[in-house]
Structure formats: C-alpha cells, structure tokens
Structure 1
C-alpha cells in the first residue's frame, strides 16, 4: 500500500442477504461483519487479491444473521480476534459456535478502539438488535464511516460521523415498493419503524447533512432485494443532493454496492 494513503477499503458485500467489508492499513487487515459463508467471503476477498489468512480481526455491528453468518467459521479457521460489545456477544454467542475465549474481545459502544495504526470509534444506532453499533475508522486525518441498519440517523450520530472522507450509507428500500410489495404488514412496520432501516429518501436526507468539504465518496449500501433497485437508490440520492446544491459528481461521487460482488479497493 502506498504510504500516502491512510488505508484502503473494499465493500465485499452489502445487502439484505449478507454484509461484509474489508479495511486494510499498513499494520492491520480487518473485516467489519461476516454475514455470508466463510467460503463466499474467501471468494469475495480474492476479487480484490486478498486472503482470509492475512486478516487480523472481525468487528461485529450486531447479531443479525446477515452480519454474523461466517464469523464463527472464519474466527476458528484463521484464529481471528473478534470484537463486539457485551450485549452483542451475549446475543451472538449461541449463533456462531465455539470461539476460543482468547479471541473474544469487548468493544464498548461510544468508545474508541486502537488496532495498530487505526483508531476505530463506535457509535450506537437505532435497530431491533441487542445493542447495534457501527464504526468510524480514523487514521492520519482521514476517516471512513459505516452506517447501515438504523431506523433513523439521530443528531448525536450525525455529530460523530459528519464530514468523513467516505461513507457506506444505508439505502435499504424504496417506500413505494415496500408499501406495495408482498411482505406481511408486521414486517413492513418493522422496516419502516424507528428501529428498522433507512429508506432511499431517509438515507439521502441524512447524507445531505453529513457531507462536508472532505467527503469524496459515498457508497449506497444494504439495499433490499425485494423492495429496492440500484437505479432507484442511486437516483434518489443523486436527486436529493443536487436539490441542495451538494456538488454530486464534482466535489464527490456516488457508488453502488452489490450483495454478490466486491467493490474495487479504494484509497482513503
């Protein structure tokens, strides 16, 4: 990695079927979540010429299956340290199989963890899990924010993550597709509620407030297979930010993510 880069990122998979992203600095190689099989994550890493045996750790956001499916397998096979807060560990432990106690680490919400040359700030979000938290990665004055799986973006969260160099932001569903779709009403209520997921519109309005002069990249993530389309999510974000004169395509660029293909490694 070039020394003038703080770190590199690839969003390996993002969507309602499974989530994982890879962050690499000079000293550390980390996954955030492992919500697909170990085999699939290995395949996704190979798309960016990386291998799971070179990983150092997995950071877990919350215990839902689309975020932890491969955590136990990867931790056992490659002897990886796993970080989550206490409540998430309690919820996740029965779901991931045996992990050696020496590999289990507590990463408290609203705290900063230093791994090698990366300072990682955790912050709580509003989602129907035990104690969901997401992360802001910092090094050498550069930052990258992961923010999905939240029903709304609070003023507190906005203050923590404002003006990062790059974002993975949730654009989970199109409101009309969700309301008219086949999901049962109770599931629709869950997704639309304060502990559900950001819609395309809500994600765009949140991003409008988070953007700063440093921001260069916005990745749209956690799209629902049933209740969204990449084109709709992208158009909603683009249109909303243009309405507020935010310099789409000039000051910064929008990027799509995929549930089955890794993004290119990009430098922060």
Structure 2
C-alpha cells in the first residue's frame, strides 16, 4: 500500500513541477516578445540621438539609420568594414557620418562619430566610447569640456597638413594640461577621416548606391571592437561603465603623458 501511494505522490509532484516549468517558460517567452519591439525602438532612438548630435535634424530629410553603407579603409582606424551614414536633403547627399577608431589612445581604442559635410567641412565630432583616465583624457567628451567642438567647420585645407596636430606638436589644436596622448589620437583620427572622405567622396555621396540595414551597420562595429575595449561612453553613446572598468591611476598617467 505504501509503494502505490508513494508513486502517486511522486507523480503528482512531477506534474506540478512540470506545469510550473511550462507556465514559467511561457511567461518569459511572452514577456520577451512583448518587450522586443519596444527595446528595438529604444535602441534606434538612442542611435538617432547620437547621430543628431553630429547633424541637426533639420539638415537632412531621410531616415538616417536606414541610409548607411559599409566602408573599409585603414584610414578609419581598422581594416574591418564600418558603417557610414549618408544624410540626404531634398534628394541630394548633404553629409556623411563616419564611424572611426583612434587606435592610439592612452588607454586603448577611442571610438568616434565624425560628420563631414558634402563640401568637406567637419559637421561635428563626438566620442562614442573610450577608456581614458577620468579628469585627464576624458575631456574629449562634450559633457566634460567643449574641446571636441574645435573640429567643427574645419577641413583638410583648414588647417593645412602641418596644422592637424596638437599645439605641443606645433599644430593648431589644444592639448589638455598633463594629457597629450588622448587629444593627439583624436586629432589624428579626424584628420585621417577627412583624408578618407576626400579620396572616396564620389562613392560616399552617390545617391544610387545600395544601403545596408542599420542592424548590419551596428553588427559591423560590434565585430570590430572587443567588449573589453569599450568601457566608457559619452553622451553620444550607451550607458557608461567607467565606475567598474576605469582603473588607471590619474597621477601616474599625468606623469607618463607629459614626458
């Protein structure tokens, strides 16, 4: 008598646990489906806000996230394909936003968005991600200083090639007190992006080229940069993680930078 009762009890418990598992999995699945579109919309909105820091919304009339092409050149800081967003106004290309990498930052790669007007002038530059030291190199962020805006309306001829350097290197761009490596890397990346634009302007501004999906553009950047390289984000990027990942000693960095 005991064995049948025990069997029935075990069967009952198994059915209850199985039912609970089914309900739990179903609930999680429904929740993911319910929130997937909302999450995707939020991500696109964040990307668009980042791009709109480079180009004012009234300067183009196309869907910027859906008007991108993959470009590939060492001048962009990597040999891997990177997305370039092409802005259109009244059916004509008006500007391009390039995603580039300055590989020679003090603490690693610095990811940038660089907007270039059709006439070759810089529309704006924003730092997307970096791992530079707080209080020193992080002044490349617009939230920390206005230094990044010193590139606006500059071009390959303004200044000339020798002027595309920090003042410590006899150029025209300021460096930070006690921190030269970081601004030097950004200046170099912007200069190389302008060189790339000048060499490929016709292809970049071709109105009839085939666009790629925004998801493919994002995936291209994620494939290029390892997760441990992306540690700090400006307002143009995602949420920062500097509290847990920035470990440099500011005093030690200052001493190393001023040598």
TM-score range, shorter chain: under 0.3
- Flag the structure with larger Rg: 2
What TM-score comes out, normalization by structure 2 length?
Answer: 0.22
Q: Greater share of helix residues, 1 or 2? A: 2
